[in-house]
Amino acid sequence: MAEATKSKKLARFVSELETAHGENLSSVTVYGSTARDDEDASAKHDVLIVLRRVELDDLRRAIEPIRNWTRSDQPMPVYFSREELQRAADVFPIEFLQMEQARRVLYGTDPFEFVEISNANLRHQTEYELRTKCLQLRRLYFASAASPEQLTRLMTDSLSSFVALFRAVLILHGVPPPSAKRDAVQATARVLGLNSSPFEQISELIEQKKTRLTKSDTETLFGNYLGEIQRVIDAVDEIDRNQ
C-alpha cells in the first residue's frame, strides 16, 4: 500500500511521473537509507520506478521529470517493467535485497510482493563482487603507494562499496543488516570474527577529512584493511563449500 511522503521533492517527482506515464505507471518506491526518513530536505533518495511496459516512448515521456529530479542533485532513478523485476531477481540479488529490506512505496503496489530472491544467487554475486573489488583495490594500490594521501583516499573511497556487500554477507548468515555503515561493519565483524579496527579507522578518516597519517601508518592500515576483506571473501566461499 502506498504511503505519503513529507519530502516536497519526492511528492513533486511522483506527481510528475503520474502525469508522464499515466496508467502505465505501476509503482514508485524509494529505497535505501532515506526510505523511512524523508524529512531532511538535503537528503538524496534512491527511487525505483516500475512500469507495466518500458519502451522508448515511455522513457521519452519521462525526460522532463527525470531532468527536474536530477537537477535537484538527486540520483538517477532505476526503471524496470513488472515482468523484468520478477525475472531479474537471479541476476541482481544484492541490489534487489537492498531495495526489499529498506523501501517505502509512494505510488501503486509493492513491486517486491511476488519477487523471490535465492540465497544461492545471492552468495554467488556477493563473492563475485567482493573478489572483483578486492582485485581492483590491489591494482589501484600500485598507483597510490607512493603517496599517503592517495592511499588514504583509496581506502576511504572504497569503504562504502565493501560495506554494501557486508550487508549481503549478513543476510547470507541470517542476520538482518543494519542500514548505518558502522553498524553494518560491527555486525559483520561479530558474525565472522573479524577485526573491525581497520574499518573503524577508515570511517574516522572519512568523517575527519583533514586527518593525515604517516606513510608507515597508512601502509599498515591498508594491509590490515586488505587482510580483513580477504577474510570476508573466505567466509563467503566457505558458505558454498558447506552447502
pLDDT tens readout for residues 22-48? 999 999 999 887 776 666 667 889 999
Residue 51: predicted pLDDT? 97
Residue 5: predicted pLDDT? 76
User: By C-alpha distance, which of 87, 115, 123, 119 is closest to 99?
Assistant: 115
Residue 93 to residue 95: CA distance in whole angstroms:
6
Rg (CA), the chain: 20
User: For 22, which DSSP code?
Assistant: G
Q: Which residues pair with 29 in a beta bridge?
A: 48, 105
Is residue 101 classed exposed, middle or buried when 0-12, 13-18 and 19+ CB atoms within 10 A define those classes?
A: middle
pLDDT at 120 over 90: no
pLDDT at 70 over 90: yes
User: By C-alpha distance, which of 202, 200, 205 is closest to 189?
Assistant: 200
Range list of H helices, the chain: 8-21, 56-61, 63-71, 82-87, 93-101, 119-144, 148-172, 181-192, 197-208, 215-241
Three-state SS for 79? strand
Residue 15: predicted pLDDT? 96
Residue 151's contacts (CB-CB under 8 Å, 6 or more residues apart) are 141, 144, 145, 218, 219, 222
Residue 209 to residue 207: CA distance in whole angstroms:
6
Does residue 145 or residue 37 have the better pLDDT?
145
Residue 39: predicted pLDDT? 65
CATH superfamily of 8-108: Beta Polymerase, domain 2 (3.30.460.10)
CATH architecture of 119-241: Up-down Bundle (1.20)
Which strands sit side by side in the sheet containing 78-81, from one edge to the other? 78-81, 46-51, 25-31, 103-108
pLDDT confidence bin for 241, thresholds 50/70/90: low
Range list of H helices, 22-118: 56-61, 63-71, 82-87, 93-101
Instruction: Give the mean model confidence (pLDDT) for residues 176-188.
Output: 90
Q: Where are the domains of the chain?
A: 8-108, 119-241
User: For 78, which DSSP code?
Assistant: E
pLDDT confidence bin for 214, thresholds 50/70/90: very high
pLDDT confidence bin for 106, thresholds 50/70/90: very high
Residue 38: predicted pLDDT? 63
